[in-house]
Chains A and B, each alone.
Chain A
Amino acid sequence: MTDHPYRYLPDHCFWRRSVASVPPEEVDPVVRAAFRITREDRIATAGSCFAQHIARHLQRYGFRFLVTESAHPLFAPALAERFGYGIFTARYGNIYTSRQLVQLLHRAFGLFRPAEDLWPRPDGRLIDPFRPEIQPNGFASEAEYRADREQHFAAVRRAVAEMDVFVFTLGLTEGWISRQDGAAFPLCPGAAGGTFDPNRHLFENRSVGEVIADTEEAILFIRERHPGVRIVLTVSPVPLVASALDRSVLVSTTYSKAVLRVACEELAGRLEDVAYFPAYEIITGPHTRGRYYANDLRSITEAGVERVMQLFLGHYAGFDPTAGEVSDAPSSEPATERWTLLEMEQVVGVMCEEEALDRPRMSG
């Protein structure tokens, strides 16, 4: 037998040894972390819906999930979540494409102002074209909309300034843009606000070169303002809900995911401290036999998310979530803010009692 390079490769390079003959729940395609993450690192997240899970688990395991746009402590967590708080670092909602990420950064830093930036509804409510589902019924007034958006942009700027690690999950290549200025919408106009107009709205399917260029621009933009930020890129394993192209959504899904996967590979190979984390492979690999997909064959099961986070935290943080090391996420609110309402309830209660008891006898 002649010598050849494969003879000296480790097990993870071989399908049979690392995939086919390993129990599915033990398949580990990560192999090694590109860098380390500590519990002191402030981790920002953005991306498609799969990225929501990452944020949730980081909090659950006591890592410093960076939130620069938190709900006011007046509001209960469930209500806050319905209004898009705490799901990502700032209240930007899902960012499906690389183009949206660059655009958000440019808008937050005042470098781009889309011409089409407000969608009025017939009932007078207002939809943010770039966060169309951030509030269940849109915004109640233009004053609120404008003020909230400025606040949001400030939170994005703070995120750039404060993040140590940025986890970005790329989700789609298909999207809709404005013909006027190229502004990228997260959802097709008309789907969750606005009105679709073929004279104003254009479909695009980003190429691998475009995704690489967008994502690189975003990374460099962040690092210009905050050198040293480490980047983790992932590809969402969630298939397209629909394709705008006249072909099978399955074919469009494989195109999108392939483009995104190649883009991550290019960027991780070219840029320092940019890692690709194989969440996509963990969920979609043949070893899973589809077990990490829910009945709709799109949603990822909790077991799938757990496995992704187990491998992510294990490799990048040396932390084993299965070892029972669950800790409550530290609250971002000082105790004084949480107690104020309770105190004020008592104060107002007593204030009213004083008013009433000042007249002990009420007579006719």
Chain B
Amino acid sequence: MPEALERDIVGRTDLPGVLAVGHSHLVSINDAWQQAAKAAARPGFRMAFLQLLVPEYQPLLSPQGNEVILNPRIRRALEALIGQQAPASIASFVLGNEHSVFGLVNHPRRFDFALPERPDLPMEPGTEIVPYDMMRAMLGEAVKRFMVPVLSSLRRVSGLPVRHFCSPPPIGSAAHIATYPGIAAAKVRELGVAPSALRLKLWLLYVGIVAEACAEAGGVPFVPSPVAAQDGVGFLDEPFWSRTPTHGNQRYGSLVLAQLAELIKAPAR
């Protein structure tokens, strides 16, 4: 079994198990789970993690005839973990940062758009205004071509109920992003951090698209990002920032674990 796999599900075997599968946004959840262990304050369920952002799981999807399927190595890992740990459900944290491709830093041809449901979010003066419907179509295509087959595959391969957890909202502070740009440092220096309102609009648009993708993947329940982690405008509130441009921290992960605990009380489909 690949090294990056969760070793085992720790805890009482009479508790329901959850297999959390995902990419970078899974990290804050794992951190929170570890912290809860140290504090002997784990919620009433067992948990295992399958981190997909490791080289052996790339690419995420593989073509098979006219379809795309989950990478066979991921499928085998899933099957092995399920066989060993017998989780009752899957918590998906897959993907989650596609919107950042379009709006973490300024595009050389700066753009903005109006989000109909949030007229309070301004359009940056002097930028090119692109049609909302085009943004939605473009982002929708970029998101769904991965999200739908991945979620569908998780359901099909696991045979378990799957819930998908939304990625956190953007960090409003451009200064924070500039301080912790990570690999994006050169792009941040070259182009500058995109306006916060644009980043929030892109995330909000993304959220709606992911919810649609969940429905198209056979009715995967979509779990929104915890409202308690958002500030008054909708950005990720400062206590929940990680030292990266786009991820939540352990405290954010704790809020998501609390969501998960509540949901486990009501069985997923």
A-to-B contact residues, CB < 8 Å: 71-76, 79-80, 83, 124, 135-137, 139-141, 143-144, 147-148, 151, 333-334, 336-337, 340-341, 343-345, 347-348, 350-364
Q: Is the CB of B138 within 8 A of A362?
A: no
Q: Which chain B residues lie closer than 8 Å to A334 at the CB level?
A: 108
Residues B133 and A74 in contact, CB atoms below 8 Å apart: no
Partner of A74, one of B10, B53, B130: B130
Name B109's contact: one of A73, A124, A148, A350 (CB within 8 Å). A73
A351→B245 contact, CB < 8 A: yes
What B residues does A147 contact at CB under 8 A?
114, 123, 129
B97 lies within 8 A of chain A by Cβ: yes
Q: Is the CB of A351 within 8 A of B138?
A: no
Q: Please determine whether A356 and B184 come into contact, CB atoms closer than 8 angstroms.
A: no
Please determine whether A362 and B51 come into contact, CB atoms closer than 8 angstroms. yes
Contact between A144 and B114 (Cβ–Cβ < 8 Å)?
yes
| CB < 8 Å neighbour of A143 from B8, B34, B123, B246 | B123
> From residue A77, how far is it (CB to closest CB) to chain B in Å?
12
How far apart sit A360 and B4, CA to CA, in the bound complex (Å)?
A: 6
> What 0/1 pattern do residues 79 to 97 of B give for CB contact below 8 A with A?
0000000000000000001
Tell me the smallest distance from the CB of A343 to a CB of chain B, in Å. 7
**Residues of chain B contacted by A347 (CB below 8 angstroms):** 104, 183-184, 187
CA–CA, A343 to B186, complex, Å?
11
In the complex, what residues of A have CB within 8 A of residue B183's CB? 347, 350-351, 354
Q: How far is the CB of B67 from chain A (nearest CB, A)?
A: 22
| A341 & B242 in contact (Cβ 8 Å cutoff) | no
Give chain B interface residues in 41-58, CB to chain A under 8 Å: 46-49, 51, 53-54
Q: What's the Cα separation between A83 and B136 when bound, in Å? A: 13
Query: Least Cβ distance of A360 to chain B in Å?
Result: 7
Q: Contacts A73-B109, A347-B184, A360-B4 hold; do A141 and B104 have CB atoms under 8 A apart?
A: no
Residues of A within 8 A of B33 (CB): 364
> Is B27 in contact with A359, judged by CB distance below 8 angstroms?
yes
Q: Closest Cβ of chain A: how far from B15's Cβ, in Å?
A: 12
B53 contact set on A, CB distance < 8 A:
352-353, 356-357
Task: List chain B residues, Cβ under 8 A from A356.
Answer: 23-24, 26-27, 51, 53-54
Bound-complex Cα distance A206 to B134 (A): 37
Given contacts A140-B132, A141-B132, 5 further A-B contacts (CB under 8 A): A75-B134, A148-B129, A148-B131, A353-B24, A360-B4
Whole-angstrom distance between the Cβ of A151 and the nearest chain B Cβ: 6
Knowing A135-B133, A364-B11 touch, does A351 contact B246 (C-beta < 8 A)? yes
A-B contact pairs, 12 of them (CB 8 A): A72-B128, A79-B137, A83-B133, A141-B115, A143-B119, A151-B128, A151-B129, A337-B108, A344-B104, A348-B101, A351-B244, A364-B10
Q: What is the bound-complex CA distance between A83 and B183, given in angstroms?
A: 35
B102 interfacial contact with A, CB 8 Å: yes
B254 to chain A, nearest CB (A): 16
Contact, CB under 8 Å: B26 / A341: no
Report the count of interface residues on B (CB-CB < 8 A).
61
B100 near A: Cβ within 8 Å?
yes
Of A144, A336, A340, A353, the residue contacting B131 (CB under 8 A) is: A144
Q: Is the CB of A359 within 8 A of B133?
A: no
In the bound assembly, the distance between CA atoms of A54 and B123 in angstroms comes to 36
**Among A76, A143, A360, which residue has the most Cβ atoms of chain B within 10 A?**
A143
A344 engages B105 (CB within 8 Å): yes
Residues on B with C-beta less than 8 A from A352 are 23-24, 53, 97
Interface check B116, CB cutoff 8 A: yes
Closest Cβ–Cβ distance, residue B235 to chain A (whole Å): 18
CB-defined contacts of B4 to chain A, threshold 8 Å: 360-362
Tell me if A72 and B130 are in contact (CB < 8 A): yes
B247 CB–A CB distance under 8 Å: yes
- Cα–Cα, bound, A139→B135 (Å): 12
Question: How far, in angstroms, from A75 to B141 measured CA to CA in the complex?
Answer: 11
Known: A83-B134, A135-B131, A337-B107. A143 touches B10 (CB 8 A): no
- How many Å lie between the Cα of A360 and that of B5 in the bound state? 9
Within 8 A of A (CB), among B1-34: 3-4, 6-11, 23-24, 26-27, 30-31, 33-34
Tell me the minimal C-beta distance from A306 to chain B in angstroms: 31
From A83, A353, A358, A362, name the one whose CB has the most chain B CB atoms within 10 angstroms: A362
- The contact of A140 among B24, B114, B244, by CB within 8 Å, is B114
- The minimal Cβ–Cβ distance linking B178 to chain A, given in whole angstroms, is 14
- Evaluate contact between A74 and B47: CB separation under 8 angstroms: no
> Which residue in chain B gives the minimum CB-CB distance to A150?
B129
Say yes or no: A344 contacts B101, CB within 8 Å: yes
A15 CB, nearest partner CB in chain B, Å: 51
B132 to A: closest C-beta gap in Å: 4
What is the minimal beta-carbon distance from A69 to any residue of chain B, in angstroms?
10
Complex Cα spacing A341 to B26, Å:
25
**Do B100 and A348 have beta carbons less than 8 Å apart?**
yes
